[in-house]
Structure 1
Amino acid sequence: MTRPHVLLTNDDGIDSPGLAALYEELRAVADVTVVAPADNQSGVGRSRSRAVDVDDHEWGYAVHGTPADCAAYALRGLEESFDLVVSGCNLGPNCGEYLIGHSGTVGAAVEAAYLGAPALAVSAYHRADFFPPDGITFDVPATVTRELVERLPGSGVFDAADYLGLNAPLEAHGDLRVTEPLADYDVEVREATADEREQHEGAIRLESDYWDRLDQPDRYPTLERVAEPYPAWSDRAAVVDGDVSLSALSIPQEPVHAHAIDDLVATYNAEVSVRAPAADDD
């Protein structure tokens, strides 16, 4: 059987231990080319650059740009073909509709999907500390990813989905669960405190609450403390339970057709007069 060719990227940067763990694990089942950001690009979503510098790397290429830049450069700029794009392994979970859109890890997968390549975005979480503590390895999520990558060819998954979102624990885990991203976003706007102003962070704070607007004393609550609000089908519930969350997703901006839109357009055309006059037949 021909080994698949995997494009490996991320948003934590090419020197990230999460990317190194995936590289070592995936090489057992695939040919792997790394095209990853030269430095940390967390939280940039699907931002793209118009021009980037690219350096050679022992595993492939380091791009001075965003994760989406990496996917675009590899899929359109290299004289190679890829069977799958894997983005990760991200430092921290990517759960919920808003956070998924905010993630550079997912952004690379979305860019790949737009360019016609199947993709898998991989994120790692730690149930007790939210973000992985120092010294912990990415061996478990890397192994989960390899097991999935081995089973994806011929599965028909990408006949239905454009890309997959995976959240795997850093330690022993439960089942692999089919999930959906939870829609749970709000933002708090307030004046900065004196301490925040001293840090030159701006006079107004715009704080997104990715964790369901719970009144938590610290910025990143532990996952067990926020378990109650999440429905069982959601990616966040799977993460709280210590399971592996797998969401099959399509690229965004799909058109929606509704009678209300038809009615709005018809009313506008009938009632609004500030439009260019019809062309004169003469």
Structure 2
Amino acid sequence: MSDSPSTLQILLTNDDGIDAPGIAAMREELTALGEVTVVAPAENQSGVGRARNELAVCREHPWGYALEGTPADCVAYGLRGLETTFDIVVSGINDGPNAGNYIVGRSGTVGAGIEAAFLGTPAIAVSSYHARDFFCHPPEEYDFSRPARIARELTERVVSVGSFDTVDLLNVNAPIDVPSPRMRVTRPLADYDQQVDHHDDTALLSDGDRSNGLRDDEQLVRLRDVSWPDTVGYENPFPPRDEHRDRYPVGTDRRSMVDGEVSVSPLSVHHGHTDDPHLTNVVETLSEQVE
């Protein structure tokens, strides 16, 4: 990595598309730290996680390149298809939060950072939230300058102190509407369920999927993520009330959002293992039986 943050080579991407206001705000801030090259999806790619494509059309853009692919495609191309040796990958700013283990795993914003880490380059994934509105949508109505400034300051500091010697990826959720938010190191909270609904009406399907209806031995099922408990649609699942503070322990990313803080979750992306003596005994016993 470069000796000084002022000489950083930065690869910038996102999952909302290269024309999203969040990436524009992030690019403007990062130019204070070094050279910024943008490789971002040509269109919105929210929620694709680490999905990859074998083929992708790339075209030049005033900031770098627009790729008709996923955020992970953009990082792969940037780190292995360009001649620049990048010091860090920054992904964002996403126009909505990415907090909680399950959401983090589905996020294209975070997926770009995971791809970078697997390719040996540290990364910061940056998402924004509104303490009242929660989702920053439509993004054109929100000002991303505050989370962009926070992300720039964090990038500069963590590079200078060598945090990426032990951390692969930082997942950051910053409020867009809190004047001087506290910053807290957090851990992603596992808070997720699945709801299954059964339907007989094929009108729920997109046109052309089943124009002739269902057969007698078929039933339409809807699988719905319960990512935000007790929430319908796009309402704020984290209003600053005591029952929500009690649900989310201090030190978790979601509690920081309830409290209007900047959540910074240091992640390892190499899927570490867990030692289990019971499993070891089972495998050893089965191995002896095979012999």
Deviations 1:130-173 (A, max 9, x none): 11144111011011011112212231211121110000011224
Count of paired positions: 269
Matched, 1:246 2:252: no
Matches within 5 A, 1:1-282: 2-134=6-138, 135-171=141-177, 172-192=179-199, 197-200=202-205, 203-211=220-228, 213-214=229-230, 216-224=231-239, 226-271=244-289
Moved more, 20-29 or 225-234: 225-234
* TM-score (norm: length of structure 2): 0.87
Distance 1:7 1:62 in 2: 13
| 1:272 to partner: Cα distance | 5.2
Q: Is this contact kept in 1: 2:26–2:148, CA < 8 A?
A: yes
Deviations 1:187-224 (A, max 9, x none): 11111485xx434269211111112x32x344543421
Distance 1:219 1:18 in 2: 20
Q: Is this contact kept in 1: 2:103–2:227, CA < 8 A?
A: yes
Moved more, 197-206 or 92-101: 197-206
1:271 counterpart letter in structure 2: Q
Q: What is residue 276 of structure 1 aligned with on the other side?
A: none
Moved more, 1-10 or 74-83: 1-10
Q: Is this contact kept in 2: 1:129–1:222, CA < 8 A?
A: no
Partner secondary structure for residue 253 of structure 1: coil
* Structure 2 unmatched runs, 5+: 210-219
Deviations 1:26-67 (A, max 9, x none): 112221000011111100111111111111111001111111
Q: Is this contact kept in 1: 2:118–2:270, CA < 8 A?
A: no
* Structure 1 unmatched runs, 5+: 274-282
Q: Is this contact kept in 2: 1:10–1:67, CA < 8 A?
A: yes
Distance 2:21 2:160 in 1: 30
Distance 1:81 1:193 in 2: 55
Q: Per the alignment, do residues 39 and 218 of structure 1 end up closer, same or farther by CA in structure 2, a change over 3 Å counting?
A: closer
Q: Per the alignment, do residues 267 and 245 of structure 1 end up closer, same or farther by CA in structure 2, a change over 3 Å counting?
A: same
Distance 2:43 2:72 in 1: 14
Partner secondary structure for residue 160 of structure 2: coil
Q: Percent same amino acid at aligned positions? A: 48
Partner secondary structure for residue 190 of structure 1: strand
RMSD of the alignment, in Å?
1.8
Q: Is this contact kept in 2: 1:22–1:88, CA < 8 A?
A: yes
Distance 2:135 2:184 in 1: 21
| 1:8 to partner: Cα distance | 0.2
Partner secondary structure for residue 146 of structure 2: helix
Q: Is this contact kept in 2: 1:19–1:89, CA < 8 A?
A: yes
Partner secondary structure for residue 73 of structure 1: helix
* TM-score (norm: length of structure 1): 0.90
Distance 1:249 1:24 in 2: 26
Moved more, 49-58 or 86-95: 49-58
Distance 1:45 1:208 in 2: 15
| 1:244 to partner: Cα distance | 0.4
2:183 counterpart letter in structure 1: L
Deviations 1:244-273 (A, max 9, x none): 000111014223332222112122223359
Partner secondary structure for residue 26 of structure 2: helix
